[in-house]
Chain A
Amino acid sequence: MTRAFLGLPGRRDKGFPAAAHHALADTQLRRNLRNATATIRAKRTKVVGELPDWEELREAGRAIKAQTLSNLDAYLEQLENAVVERGGHVHWARDADEACRLVTELVQATGATEVVKVKSMVTDEIGLNDALARSGISAYETDLAELIVQLGHDKQSHILVPAIHKNRSEIRDIFLREMPGVSKDLGDDPVELAMAARQHLRKKFLSAKVGISGANFAVAETGTLAVVESEGNGRMCLTLPETLISVVGIEKVVPTWNDLEVFLQLLPRSSTAERMNPYTSLWTGVTPGDGPQEFHLVLLDNGRTKVLKDEVSRQTLACIRCSACLNVCPVYERTGGQAYNSVYPGPIGAILTPAMQGVENAPTLPYASSLCGACYDVCPVKINIPEVLVHLRSEVVEHKRARRIPTPEATAMKAMAWVFDSPKRLERAQKAARRGSGIFARDGVIGRIPGPMHGWTDSRDAPAMPAETFREWWRRTH
């Protein structure tokens, strides 16, 4: 399947503005997204309104995450000890390559050539399916939306609902084309489509030897992992195979068992807008006679310690991947997730990806926002996304400034500084601009200007220069 996220070599990223421009022209995509995000926004508002202590829960969630991150090394060691004590194995992976290699070796050690997967952002982030495929191991996505993406050779466009950009008839077409043994009379009713997926995956579940998952939370105190899901595919993958491999970002740790009482209230209401998601599985190492008898936990860094180091960006690691910020974002609603060209799309992706991979690898993402702040308002752990966006924008500028050959923008700014420095120079420049702007102005407005200024004028109008400046008016009338 095609998989294009930032940092993958061999793929030229033209940046968010170009991709967004392309996406905005797709009226089907915009209709699908508008319907889906409007539905989920209304539901979320309703279930969040049921809890009079929502703000207290948010503050607890924020503070628990901040406290965890400030003492992360100790909690990870505690988690490791607890998992090992309960018969699990713990592995550490510095980056995507190391994690993929570890998981591949663990699968190979079982002799299996097929694995079933629970939907997991982190395995998308490290490109695990492709890595397994290169070693001859087939990974079957079992979440319905991930299955739609995998069968459609497509890219994810939403954290929670990766196929949100597809409507029912597009999904039916994908199933008819790619799902072996599916009935030719398959309709586009969501119930019928879900049943087709059930039938397709049932055999895989019942015969799978290895399951691969992520985790929503990992409790340091007890060694417990939590997977929050809806369909039951998670329970299948976590219960039926003989071997379970869970790949977990180091920021997923929470200190105590009781911390789950906060996050199990925040997450479902923020993500699927339910009081509680249908299924949550909690397991601690290995339970004799119940579920996988071999359990491996892979703890992943892959840029997270780089984010931890940055005082402003650090809060990004509190993210519980609920996707509420995507659903309220006016930019996301119009461009969809694929325009971000990042595994993590939307407002959280616009800060998480550049913070983890460096702004030099995602220089346009911090600008993929109007800074309206709706994302901050809904974030269940109070990540100040606009603050981090502005911070990363300044990093983008700093990074450009460090280049030996200045950018045209930097050169223009230098020239402007020189002009603004002297009243005489400013006046001369204003006169010149008045003459110059006459070429571009129409009805008192300057529209698109070709050449180096197009980046500023493609999507904004500027007023034409007035007939006289304030100084000229003052001199004339006083």
Chain B
Amino acid sequence: MVEAYPLNAREEMLQRIRDALHDVPVEPAAPRLYRPDTGLDHEGVLELFAETVADYRATVHRTDDSGRIAAIAEILTGRGLRRIAVPADLPSGWLPDKIEAVVDAGQLSTADLDAADGALTRAALGIAATGTLILDGSTGQGRRLLSLIPDYHLCVIDADVVVGSVPEAIRRLDPRRPITLISGPSATSDIELNRVEGVHGPRTLDVLLVE
């Protein structure tokens, strides 16, 4: 096949593009007249967030900072879960004593994680307009597979990282981090375009909003 292509592929493709565009001026920068935010105050943003997250059949729980640990215990025991995978840098004391922590510092195998009942992580950001949680591997979030393999995910999000719109979130993210946007539990619409919750990702998603 080498003989068929005298130029290397990279050079030839770039040359084809330059030939195609030789009489085409570079277009001006795009107009960005869309809304940068939702126009809501923070209280309104939080209300919208709780509403849109619940809309996608995640369960939303709300508490204040002093109630965080009790709320986590209540949610997990309410679901009847016993072994929960957590990232190594999750603040100690978040998990109640009666629940076994499966701590991942990068050493757990996929089989270890598959054997856990669920995962507990924080979120880096939340988007109210779309009901989205964003994990970027920063403190308390762990590796991407930690919140993926177990069948249950409890995500704790602090009110001060919930923003209104998609543009507000994108502008706060660091592209160098591995980023996952999560909007509700895993779902498919592949059978007759009916939405079915729970395919390969966690089938159940609980969100604890701490104000």
Contacts and interface: CB of A to CB of B under 8 A. Distances in A.
A219 B170 CA distance: 13
Interface in B140-192: 143-145, 148-149, 166-167, 169-171, 173, 175-192
Interface residues of A, number: 95
Nearest to B129: A275
Nearest to B186: A232
22 contacts: A53-B34, A59-B30, A60-B30, A67-B28, A71-B26, A148-B190, A194-B199, A231-B190, A233-B199, A235-B180, A235-B201, A276-B166, A278-B183, A279-B201, A281-B179, A281-B180, A284-B175, A287-B137, A290-B137, A291-B178, A305-B20, A308-B21
A143 interface: yes
Contacts, number: 255
A260 B127 CA distance: 14
Q: Which 6 A-B pairs have the closest CB atoms?
A: A232-B201, A63-B30, A232-B200, A276-B130, A309-B20, A305-B16
A179 to B, nearest CB: 15
Contact of B200 (A233, A258, A262, A291): A233
A97 B191 contact: no
Interface string A256-281: 01101110110010001011111111
B93 interface: no
A275 B144 CA distance: 23
Contact of A36 (B10, B178, B180, B192): B192
B106 interface: yes
A257 B188 contact: no
Contact of B178 (A72, A145, A287, A306): A287
A208 B156 CA distance: 30
A144 B34 contact: no
A239 B34 contact: no
Interface of B: 1, 5, 8-10, 12-14, 16-21, 24-35, 52, 55-56, 106, 110-111, 114, 127, 129-132, 137, 143-145, 148-149, 166-167, 169-171, 173, 175-194, 196, 198-202
A305 B186 CA distance: 37
A227 B180 CA distance: 10
Contacts of B145: 239-240, 291
B190 A144 contact: yes
A71 B21 CA distance: 8
B94 to A, nearest CB: 21
A92 B191 contact: no
A93 interface: yes
Interface residues of chain A: helix, strand, loop or mixed (majority)? helix
Contact of A198 (B55, B111, B200): B200
Interface in A175-232: 190-191, 193-195, 197-198, 201-202, 205-206, 219, 222, 224, 230-232
A280 B31 contact: no
A8 B124 CA distance: 47
Contacts of B24: 70
B128 to A, nearest CB: 10
Interface of A: 32, 35-36, 39-40, 52-53, 56-57, 59-60, 62-64, 66-67, 69-73, 76-77, 86, 91-94, 97-98, 101, 142-145, 148, 161, 163-164, 167-168, 171, 190-191, 193-195, 197-198, 201-202, 205-206, 219, 222, 224, 230-233, 235-236, 239-240, 250, 257-258, 260-262, 264-265, 268, 272, 274-284, 287, 289-291, 299, 301, 305-306, 308-309
A201 B188 CA distance: 15
A357 B170 CA distance: 37
B200 A264 contact: no
B144 A291 contact: yes
Interface centre among B8, B31, B148, B202 (most CB of A within 10 A): B148
A231 B201 contact: yes
B186 A279 contact: yes
A282 B178 contact: yes
Contacts of A205: 200
A274 B183 contact: yes
Nearest to A190: B191
A67 B30 CA distance: 7
Contact of A277 (B32, B183, B194): B183
Nearest to A231: B199
A433 to B, nearest CB: 48
B200 A261 contact: no
A233 B200 CA distance: 6
Nearest to A327: B193
Given A35-B192, A63-B31, A194-B198, 10 more contacts: A60-B32, A198-B200, A202-B114, A206-B110, A232-B199, A235-B180, A275-B183, A281-B178, A284-B177, A308-B21
A334 B199 CA distance: 30
A161 B192 CA distance: 9
B180 A280 contact: yes
A128 B144 CA distance: 28
Contact of A283 (B5, B129, B178): B178
A142 B181 CA distance: 20
A190 B195 CA distance: 9
A171 B196 CA distance: 15
A39 B13 contact: no
Contact of A262 (B34, B114, B129, B131): B34
Nearest to A97: B1
Nearest to B200: A232
Given A57-B34, A283-B178, A144 B191 contact: yes
A205 B113 CA distance: 13
A284 B176 contact: yes
Nearest to A66: B27
B183 A219 contact: no
Contacts of A142: 200
B196 A194 contact: yes
A231 B14 contact: no
A72 B15 CA distance: 11
Contact of B187 (A36, A164, A240, A278): A278
A258 to B, nearest CB: 6
